Amino acid sequence: MKKISIRTISQIIIVGIVLFLAFTHQQYGIEQASPIHAYCPFGALEGALTYIFSGEFLTKTYRSNYILLAIFVLLTIFFGRVFCGFFCPLGAISERLRALGKKLGIKKDVELPDTLDKYMRYVKYLVLLIIIYFSFRYTALVFDAYDPFSAFAHLGNEFDELIFAYSVLGFVVITALFSKGRRCRYFCPLGAFFALVKKLGFFKLKRDNNTCISCGICRKSCPANLKIKTADQITHPDCISCMECVNDCPKNSLDVYILGKKIKKQTFLWVVTGIFFITLSIVIWTPLWKTKPVSNIISDQGIIKVENIRGSNTLQYVIDTTKVPLTYFQEKLQLPVDIDTTMKLKEIGTTYDIKNLSGEIIETEDFRIAIDQYEEKKDNQEVTCPFGEVNCEFPGECGAYTDQDKNQICDYSE
Ligand code: SF4
Ligand code: SF4
């Protein structure tokens, strides 16, 4: 039986961590557990231009994204695209799916002709540019709706909202059964970024022409399907430093060099995994590591930013943060009197079978609209109590008592 490598163990740990984070977020909501987007280095790339020009983080991203990106950029400079080879959950799952495909009888990798394959590898750079541009233009994670990682981390939830992302995930899963790393090679924008960074790095893979017997085993083992046996140095940006070729070469003709110094394969695997997990374990205990702001629903100027209200916010949290009373939501959205306010907004409509005026089950957007209308009403009512009363209770001290939000306190005194 093939010995399980430290790289595989690292991949299993990462997939386990991602599933744990995804589950806790889905289970306990955004107030208890940050969305998975906060743990993806790609979020930092998507939000970089917005942050540079406005100092704002894109919704669902925060400092953690930038810290992770910085760690992986440094690792890439020294060790090549190890994010893709060791720490990408989708890459890990794709590799296991290809192994499953082989067990199911799809022994031969289904590949595009070499010339087409060569050009398809450039598509990911275009995808990267498009995403960075539109994320900046619309100040949002525009890729989220198509992101297979996002779909994976939603664990089957929000299927309607993420229908495209789930479709892409389905495509990734099916193609991974019969071909190696096709998504990574052709379409992955984060892979494209690390491929560019790798060009500046110190990692080299060299083939000894004197001992190589051109058996081609290395290409079969390579998840990036690289032509290794014809190159003296494997400098291709799609090499993900996985060491599979080094491991499987029957003549030990392949060696790793960093800063010109030869490194043993096993040392390489341990150093990469060790540096990452030790660095991460330290960083998450520093004050720098933050996966979400205390709340981004209220801006520094005290304005409610309804677009930052998430379906995973609980009703109670929204009430506490926005100061919009429960009675207003009950009246506006026909919420039951005994509603469980610890429920997430996205679950309320289906749980209580509440429909909006269009006859559709109410969603987070209906809460956002209600809050907007409440604020508008408040602005139009900038009339204050002529007697200076504060929180004047029913029936009021004068004849002007008004209580449109039905909280038993005169609106002029609130
Ligand atoms: S597996 Fe080793 S011997 Fe075979 S072609 Fe690749 S480098 Fe040469
Ligand atoms: S060339 Fe070797 S190290 Fe690079 S991706 Fe292919 S198998 Fe992995």
Cβ count near 210 (within 10 Å):
7
Pairwise CA distance, residues 252 & 213, whole Å: 11
> How far apart are the C-alpha atoms of 196 and 128, rounded to whole Å?
11
Q: Which ligand is nearest to the CA of 242?
A: 2
Cross-strand pairs, 206 = 233, 255
Ligand 1 in reach of 231 Cβ (< 6 A) = no
pLDDT digits (tens, 9 = 90+) for 347-362: 899 999 999 888 899 9
Stretch 194-223: mean pLDDT: 94
Q: Is the CB of 59 under 6 A from ligand 1?
A: no
Q: Please say if the pLDDT value at position 142 is more than 90.
A: no
Give yes or no for residue 215 CB within 6 A of ligand 1: yes
pLDDT band at residue 8 using 50, 70 and 90 as cut-offs: very high
Q: Which atom belonging to ligand 1 lies closest to the Cα atom of 216?
A: 5
Q: How many CB atoms lie within 10 A of CB 205?
A: 22
Q: Give the separation between CA 97 and CA 106, rounded to whole angstroms.
A: 11
| Closest-approaching ligand to the CA atom of 234 | 2
Q: Give the model confidence (pLDDT) of 305-325 as tens digits.
A: 888 888 888 899 899 888 898
- Ligand 2 centroid to Cα of residue 263, in Å, is 15
Percent with pLDDT over 90 in the chain: 58
Considering Cα of 175, then 178, then 184, then 187, what sign does the dihedral take?
A: negative
DSSP letter assigned to residue 86: I
**ipTM of model:** 0.91
> What pLDDT, on a 0 to 100 scale, did the predictor assign at position 2?
67
Ligand 1: centre distance to CA 74 (Å): 30
pLDDT at position 299, please? Answer: 76
Separation of CA 262 and ligand 1 centre (Å): 18
Distance 339 CA to ligand 2 centre (A): 56
Mutate to test the pocket of ligand 2, among 88, 95, 245, 248 (most ligand atoms within 8 A of CB): 245
Q: Is 251 in the pocket of ligand 1 (CB under 6 A)?
A: yes
Mean pLDDT of 391-401: 81
What pLDDT band is residue 382 in, cutting at 50, 70 and 90? low
Mean pLDDT (whole number) for 229-245: 93
Tokens 């890459």, located at residue: 91
304 C-alpha to center of ligand 2: Å? Answer: 50
**Residues enclosing ligand 2, CB less than 6 A?**
205, 221-224, 226, 228, 234, 239-245
346 lines ligand 1 (CB under 6 A): no
**Position 381 confidence tier, pLDDT thresholds 50, 70, 90:** low
Query: How far is it, in rounded angstroms, from Cα 22 to Cα 35?
Result: 7
Q: How far is CA 157 from CA 89, 223, 363, in A?
A: 19, 31, 14
Ligand 1 close to Cβ of residue 22 (< 6 A): no
DSSP code per residue over 172-209: HHHHHHHSSSHHHHHT-HHHHHHHHHHTTS-EEEEE-T
Among 226, 229, 254, 268, residue to substitute to test ligand 2 (most atoms within 8 Å of Cβ): 226
Atom of ligand 2 nearest to the CA of 228: 1
81, 228, 104: which is closest to 178 by C-alpha? 104
Q: What is the pLDDT, as a whole number, of residue 302?
A: 79
Q: Tell which one of 251, 252, 255 to mutate to probe ligand 1, the residue whose CB is within 8 A of the most ligand atoms.
A: 251
DSSP H or E segment with residue 277:
helix 265-283
DSSP per position, 328-362:
HHHHHH---TT--TTSBHHHHHHHHT-B-TTSSBP
Assigned token pair, 314 = 């609980």
* Ligand 2 atom at shortest distance from the alpha carbon of 234: 1
Lowest model confidence (mean pLDDT) among 5-9, 32-36, 102-106, 196-200: 32-36
Quick check: CB of 218 below 6 Å from ligand 1?
yes
Residue 379 has pLDDT above 80, yes or no: no
User: Per residue in 151-195, pLDDT tens?
Assistant: 998 898 888 888 999 999 999 999 999 888 777 889 999 999 999
**Atom 8 in ligand 1: residue holding the nearest Cα:** 212
